[in-house]
Amino acid sequence: MSLNEISQKVIFHNSVDVWISACGEKNKDWTNPEDYKQFIAHLLKNNLNLKAFNLCTHEAGATEEEKTKFTEILAQTKETDPNSKTYTIKLNDSAISTIRSYF
Domain with 43 in it: 3-100
Would you state the pLDDT for residue 56? 58
**CB contact burial 49-69 (16+ within 10 A = b; e otherwise):** ebeeeebebeebeeeeeebbe
3-state secondary structure of 69: helix
CB of 102 closer than 8 Å to CB of 35: no
pLDDT at 12: 87
How many domains are there within the chain? 1
Across-strand partners of 51? 88
pLDDT at 81: 93
Alpha helices in 1-103 (DSSP H): 3-9, 15-25, 33-45, 57-61, 65-75, 93-100
pLDDT averaged per 10 residues in sequence order, the chain, 103 residues: 82 90 94 96 95 65 71 88 93 94 95
Considering the entire predicted model, what is its pTM?
Answer: 0.85
